[in-house]
Amino acid sequence: MRTQVGIIGAGPAGLLLSHLLHLQGIDSVVLESRSREQIESTIRAGVLEPGTVDLLAEAGLGARMKAEGTVHDGFELAFGGKRRRVDLVELTGKAITVYAQHEVLKDLVAARCAADGALYFNVSGTTIDGIDSDAPSIRFQHSGAEHTLHCDFVIGCDGSQGVSRAAIPEALRQDYEKVFPFGWFGILVEAPPSSDELVYAHHDRGFALVSTRSSTVQRMYFQCDPKDSVNAWSDDRIWAEMHTRVDTEDQQVIEGRIFQKNIVGMRSFVSTKMQHGRLYLTGDAAHIVPPTGAKGLNLAVSDVRVLTAALQEFYRSGREHLLEAYSETALRRIWRAEHFSYWMTRMMHRLDGVSPFEQQLQIAELEHVTTSRSALTALAENYVGTSAV
């Protein structure tokens, strides 16, 4: 098998990269260990920055997003029994769009299939060879047969547990990580929205988040011990916790049938450099952010935007200066988003082991952020996204 760009991973980064390259006349093959049904049904966060929305629309992927996504002009910070609104449009002139990640993936898969794109699901035994040469290859198993994909470039879009990052020698990588001592207990609920916009709540008992997936399905989270058991939480106990952390005198969480429960850990991670030889990393293969800042999917899209421009330049002119600068260019946006996500996480969560003095500093910071025009603008600018370059 032969292609120009071999892509490992059919998440948002891999599929979007393949589609954007196709629009530029560049061939690619996408390899994915999961089934199509799995990637299209795994419900994950879906807060899209305006830059992400614009790129998807420009690439012909905006029809369902425009019809089914919800534009939010702001969000709310809840603390001290009150909610304070962050008006994104008034502060920045921009809004965010809530459109679930699995819906983005459905659109991407449909676009690649419509273009007869080479997508291989349910692959296994993937290994990468020859990244130090001009002729790298990817070996994999599919439908009981062994295959070798020869390509000009290998792009690792296979997440934090994939094979791509490990293909870069440890001696050439510098990994940075912060593991938080808390997690999020997430639920999916059959109910109407509890709020017109997302609600981020700071409470003595811990953080909580009220989000939405559709007019009938809502996503909610509350801070928990990452080692806790889902089975230890009955529906009644969950609702009692959400009401305690989020409800105000005139606004309450709307209950419904809980049909999914899970616990996710929280960590920040960056691996540098994001390239070695003919191998380039994007998305979760290179960096992880805690979900507090809603940056994960948007950072992957940012990586892809930068890498697409670099590959386009290479195939048009043979020049490699954008490819050589890929890590440096992408990391400027990544570290900005890492800092914002870390700051939001530290400000909104209960921090065990800190003194009462430090706990009061959190409240003072929230008061400052929600009453200072300049502080509020900085929050809004980071939330809607900074430039990728």
For the chain, domain boundaries: 5-70+98-176+267-346, 181-266+352-384
Please tell me the distance from the alpha carbon of residue 211 to that of residue 147, in angstroms, as a whole number. Answer: 43
Domain 181-266+352-384 carries which CATH code? Answer: 3.30.9.10
Which residues are registered as beta bridge partners of 212?
218
Q: How far is CA 82 from CA 55, 197, 245, 246, 354, in A?
A: 36, 15, 11, 9, 24
Q: Is the pTM of this model over 0.75?
A: yes
What is the gyration radius of the CA atoms in the chain, in angstroms?
21
Q: Which of 200, 221, 280, 326 is catalytic?
A: 200
Which CATH entry fits the domain spanning 5-70+98-176+267-346: 3.50.50.60, 3.40.50.261, 3.90.1150.10, 3.30.1360.120? 3.50.50.60
DSSP tag of 106: H
- 169 noted as active-site residue: no
- 295 noted as active-site residue: yes
Please tell me the distance from the alpha carbon of residue 14 to that of residue 327, in angstroms, as a whole number. Answer: 17
State the angle between helix axes of 296-317 and 12-23 in degrees (0 to 180), rounded to the nearest 10: 30
Predicted confidence pLDDT, tens digits, the chain (389 residues): 999 999 999 999 999 999 999 999 999 999 999 999 998 987 777 899 999 999 999 999 999 999 999 999 999 999 999 999 999 999 999 999 999 899 999 999 999 999 999 999 999 999 999 999 999 999 999 999 999 999 999 999 999 999 999 999 999 999 999 999 999 999 999 999 999 999 999 999 999 999 987 888 899 999 999 999 999 999 999 999 999 999 998 899 999 999 999 999 999 999 999 999 999 999 999 999 999 999 999 999 999 999 999 999 999 999 999 999 999 999 999 999 999 999 999 999 999 999 999 999 999 999 999 999 999 999 999 999 975 44
Q: What do you get for the CA distance between the two ends of the chain, in Å?
A: 34
b/e sequence 351-387, b meaning 16+ C-beta within 10 Å: beeeeeeeeeebeeebeebbeeeeebeebbebbbbee
- 291 noted as active-site residue: yes
Closest residue by Cα to residue 5 from 32, 27, 22, 33 = 27
- 200 noted as active-site residue: yes
- 342 noted as active-site residue: no
54: Cβ contacts below 8 Å, ≥ 6 apart: none
Q: Which of 12, 50, 290, 291 is catalytic?
A: 291
Q: Which of 202, 295, 326, 349 is catalytic?
A: 295
